[in-house]
Amino acid sequence: EYLILPLRCPEQEQGLWGGEGVIKGYRESNPKLKKKILPRLWIPKLWTPTIKSVLLYSEILDIYMNISVTDRVQRLIDQHFGLDLYLLETPDVDIDSRLGIDLKRQLLLALASKNYYHNDSIRQEYIANKYSRFVIPLEEAEWYGLDLNTACRKLQDIEDNKEPIPLKKLFSEELISEIKKGVTSEVVPLEEAEEEEEGLTYEKHKWIGWRI
């Protein structure tokens, strides 16, 4: 038996299909004459899942979203008692959607920073207690679910915005710390250091004759 792998399409990234996709295959054609001697023709066909637009509500983000989902995903959302629990409890491999991963990242960011229901303290406490097991550090939530290109651009922006520390400041701080500890490294003049290096290189490359 061979697994039937679905084809990936751009519409799949813009909805919640739950791993379902387009299946490519062939169907048997109906012959014009019902005779056994005539060959049957096989016509290529694409089977697509049943997609429907559904209005979904996010309890953490407090927004309504019109998302295209399959019947299976809609049943899974009902089994998890809401969109938020479905996204948080389902692994990314099973979500299999760019939209789903981005929504999950927004949920984790909101939980990590407690950015929800600032005007309603009772509702805020209820959300914090209900989703406390999904809270992760904010630094980890910022990098969660990013694709390779987005993560590289984010890292490049962080490195570009970081101010370089002058070596003079680093060396002066290191020297001050050594003086406070009472341990200072021996300062060797530049000329003596160069002479020592020349002597070492001479001894290293000195020819000692042929060995018999």
The domain spans of the chain are: 10-159
Give the burial string for 4-30 (b: 16+ CB within 10 Å, else e): eebeeeeebeebbbbebbeeeeeeeee
Residue in the structure block whose two tokens are 């002597």: 199
Give the burial string for 137-173 (b: 16+ CB within 10 Å, else e): eeeebeebbbeeeeeeeeeeeeeeeeeeeeeeeeeee
pLDDT in tens, 111-151: 999 989 989 899 999 999 999 999 999 999 999 989 999 99
Q: Where is pLDDT greater, at 5 or 1?
A: 5
Lowest model confidence (mean pLDDT) among 29-38, 103-112, 115-124: 29-38
| pTM for this predicted structure | 0.70
pLDDT above 70 for 9: yes
pLDDT, mean of residues 46-52: 91
pLDDT above 60 for 207: no
Q: What residues does 25 pair with on adjacent strands?
A: 45
